[in-house]
Structure 1
Amino acid sequence: MSNTSAVRVALTASGTWTEITDARPTATFTRVRASDLREGQQARSRARAEVVEVGKDADSVAVFLDIEIHIADDARTARREFEALKAPERPDSIRYVGTPSGLAGLIADVKAADVADGVTLIPIGPEQRNLERVVGGVVPWLEDRGVTFSDDAVVSATGSRLPSRVLAS
């Protein structure tokens, strides 16, 4: 996707990958794991170059960066809870432990810096609670910045409906 399009967001829930944004479909997508954003950016560049080499448009592939997440209402609580989980010290990919708004900012930065076309959020710890915080905090933050989500996909992946949005008059 070109940098002018909105970031795409997917979740893994109960081992199933589901894109929850309502985005223009691409011919293919690929998921990448990276130890940092620079490595993710290089993986995106490689994936796009590979499709160009076979005569396709670079925008025909969407690259999703895996991000392991544990979120709570405040960063201190998120860190304390995460410590108690005894998760592996070395993550499989980028790991974010903090608040929903902080995660939403990271997701926006991933797209703005051309690190990836989208992200795959992988909950660590209580899956349903993390997913509820994504739906209740991350999604509204991104919606306020122009990202469109599919209510059906969100329900399918999380069991939760998108929060209703009331516009002030």
Structure 2
Amino acid sequence: MTIQSSSPTDVLADQLLAADTGVITIGRPALRVAIVGDAGAAELPIVVRRSTLRDAQRTRSLLRAGTRDTANFSVALAVEVAIAPHPGSARASVASVSAAGSSVTSAGDPAETVRYVGTPHGLATLIRDIYAAEVADAVLIVPIDGSATEHRVRAEVLPQFESRRAA
């Protein structure tokens, strides 16, 4: 049994569909985590810096609203990070960097960028929450205190997300 409709709306919709040759995808890109300066960071097409997670979520929604290929459209959030085995140690490392006069990192003014100071476990949880709450599809980590945080991120945080990607 075939039902045909000749309403003007259906004809217009058929014409639009026939004229549109673009691919429409539904979904979301897989979570990606990278450290600033790495090859993975260079592959992130859009990186936003916002002062709050809510502002980042709004920005992501606005950027994604204009795309038809949502499964392949990724918005990354830059997060300034200082991690240590204990939160107090991480706070002390940030304080020493601030006292040295280099509180502004390559990401810009700290007041304009989400900042996390704490433990590797807490950072991994924050990254998962950022993805789950659709704040961002990727996270670009900007170490505040240099190589100490970068080393910990590589050793303790990134492996948690790489094993998930391989599964």
Contact 1:7 1:107 in 2 (8 A): no
Output the CA distance in 1 between the equivalents of 2:95 and 2:27: 38
Specify the alignment match of 2:95 in structure 1.
83
Output the CA distance in 2 between the equivalents of 1:93 and 1:2: 27
Report the alpha carbon displacement of residue 143 of structure 1 after superposing the two structures with TM. 4.5
Structure number with the higher strand fraction is: 1
Output the CA distance in 2 between the equivalents of 1:134 and 1:36: 22
List, as ranges, runs of 4+ consecutive aligned residues in structure 1 with deviation greater than 6 Å: none
Contact 2:120 2:157 in 1 (8 A): yes
2:71 to 37, 53, 59: 59
Give the 3 Å change call, closer, same or farther, for CA 115–85 of structure 1 in structure 2: same
Identity %: 36
Report the alpha carbon displacement of residue 37 of structure 1 after superposing the two structures with TM. 1.0
| AA aligned opposite 1:2 | G
Specify the alignment match of 2:85 in structure 1.
73
Report the alpha carbon displacement of residue 11 of structure 1 after superposing the two structures with TM. 1.3
Output the CA distance in 2 between the equivalents of 1:121 and 1:90: 13
Specify the alignment match of 2:165 in structure 1.
147
| AA aligned opposite 2:35 | L
| AA aligned opposite 1:80 | A
| AA aligned opposite 1:61 | F
Output the CA distance in 2 between the equivalents of 1:17 and 1:30: 15
The normalised TM-score by structure 1 is 0.69
The gaps in structure 2 that reach 5 residues or longer are: 1-25
Give the 3 Å change call, closer, same or farther, for CA 77–106 of structure 1 in structure 2: same
Specify the alignment match of 1:118 in structure 2.
138
Q: Does 1:19 align with 2:40?
A: yes
Contact 2:33 2:158 in 1 (8 A): no
Output the CA distance in 1 between the equivalents of 2:34 and 2:162: 15
Output the CA distance in 2 between the equivalents of 1:147 and 1:50: 27
Structure number with the higher helix fraction is: 2
Output the CA distance in 2 between the equivalents of 1:17 and 1:43: 24
Report the alpha carbon displacement of residue 147 of structure 1 after superposing the two structures with TM. 3.5
Report the alpha carbon displacement of residue 57 of structure 1 after superposing the two structures with TM. 1.6
Q: Which one has the largest radius of gyration? A: 2
The alignment covers a number of residue pairs equal to: 133
- SS of the counterpart of 1:91? helix
- SS of the counterpart of 2:134? coil
| AA aligned opposite 1:33 | R
Output the CA distance in 1 between the equivalents of 2:160 and 2:87: 17
Specify the alignment match of 1:29 in structure 2.
45
Cα-Cα RMSD: 2.5
The gaps in structure 1 that reach 5 residues or longer are: 149-169
Output the CA distance in 2 between the equivalents of 1:61 and 1:84: 38
